[in-house]
Structure 1
Amino acid sequence: MKNSALIVVDYSNDFVADNGKLTCGKPGQRIESYIVRRIDDYNSHKCPIFFMMDLHHEDDYNHPENKLFPPHNILGTSGRQLYGKVNDIYQNIQYNDHVHFIDKTRYDSFCGTPLELLLRERGVKRLEIVGVCTDICVLHTAISAYNLGYKIAISARGVASFNQTGHSWALEHFKNSLGAEVEHQA
């Protein structure tokens, strides 16, 4: 785990809960225990963990996502909170120096955030990415990570989408176009 960091992308109520505004529903819920195990593992080794969370404002009519998706992850709503047991574990570890919660306003976790600077300061060379949605925010984050020279690891047990075709395509793209370590479900 040396020089590795865990990136947890958009694992919020709006993206995962049955009543979420842009939910991937059951597929997102099924990856919860895997994400919790990975957080526990990184936390026990004091390795960096980054919770990257989509942030929107209720009256932000000019944001490009508003033309594609219903309003979601609105500041100050319960939809923006981490989902289920991931929220519970975050509440217990959030004050540790190696745990970070960073707002993002684009699909890509690097765009307009201090993520790259924080990774470089910590000597991180390899990123394990978990969360939702495989073919949107996880994909764009992985592409930037690749372009910035990071090694990438993604397990099918740790990512999900509301679009199964897109999910499957993204897993192959991670492996074949980004050279990522991709662990497919058994």
Structure 2
Amino acid sequence: MKKAILIIDYTNDFVDDKGALTCGAPGQAIDTEIAKLANFFLANHDYIIFPTDLHKKNDPYHPETKLFPPHNLANTWGHQLFGSVGTWFNLHKNDDEVYFYDKNRYSSFANTNLENFLRTHHIEELYLTGVCTDICVLHTAIDAYNKNFKITIPQNAVASFNQTGHEWALDHFKNSLGATII
């Protein structure tokens, strides 16, 4: 069975202390683990996918404009990948197994080509990592479940700025979506 790891929204705006909507220390603590997982997937010729939040400042048509401060704006430092994950990406971005794309909703599937990419590459199992556990990782997991993908969540590779939401989402992944938590 072919696998892919999704490294969701691991950007400066969501992880760095100076980020516009940072989860701070919890997000920074998973940096090394995500890079290690990316190396593992690459060594096994599986796919490493980077669904990355992208917005326009004060977009009147986007619902997040009313919920959050401007973040992950096009062509900004905030939209760039954080830390060792960003370094890893810069070294491997041209590898055949690496796929980066921008998204404009919580779910990595909404308004994107992700499902088509997964189906055409015969990928059936998804490992979900990144931030935020209870927002974009959660919505991606729900869509993956509804599309019949097998889901694995490495719990030391997801984080949120809301610890209660993070713990709730981990429980939800296991008990409502049948995900494997490792």
TM-score range, shorter chain: over 0.9
1:77, 1:94 → 2: CA distance?
18
1:126 positional shift = 0.4
Q: For residues 43-80 of structure 1, give each alpha carbon's deviation from its aligned partner in whole angstroms, at most 9, with x where no partner exists.
A: 11121111000010124122100111111000011000
Runs ≥4 residues deviating over 2 A = none
| Code of the aligned partner of 2:23 | C
2:80, 2:25 → 1: CA distance?
18
1:59, 1:75 → 2: CA distance?
12
Match of 1:13 in 2: 12
| Code of the aligned partner of 1:80 | H
1:133, 1:115 → 2: CA distance?
19
Match of 1:163 in 2: 162
Match of 1:172 in 2: 171
1:125 is paired with a residue whose SS is strand
Match of 1:133 in 2: 132
Query: Equivalences for 1:35-114 in 2 at 5 Å?
Result: 35-114=34-113
TM-score (norm 1): 0.96
Match of 2:141 in 1: 142
| Code of the aligned partner of 1:99 | V
5+ residue gaps, structure 2, are none
1:146, 1:102 → 2: CA distance?
21
2:15, 2:5 → 1: CA distance?
19
Q: How many residues align?
A: 182
1:111 is paired with a residue whose SS is coil
1:163, 1:51 → 2: CA distance?
22
TM-score (norm 2): 0.98
1:125, 1:62 → 2: CA distance?
34
2:21, 2:73 → 1: CA distance?
12
1:19, 1:61 → 2: CA distance?
25
2:166, 2:50 → 1: CA distance?
21
Over aligned residue pairs, what C-alpha RMSD do you find? 0.7
Q: For residues 61-118 of structure 1, give each alpha carbon's deviation from its aligned partner in whole angstroms, at most 9, with x where no partner exists.
A: 2210011111100001100000011010101111011110011000000001000000
Q: For residues 116-139 of structure 1, give each alpha carbon's deviation from its aligned partner in whole angstroms, at most 9, with x where no partner exists.
A: 000001111100000000000000
Match status 1:3 vs 2:2: yes
Cα pair 2:58 2:70 within 8 Å, conserved: no
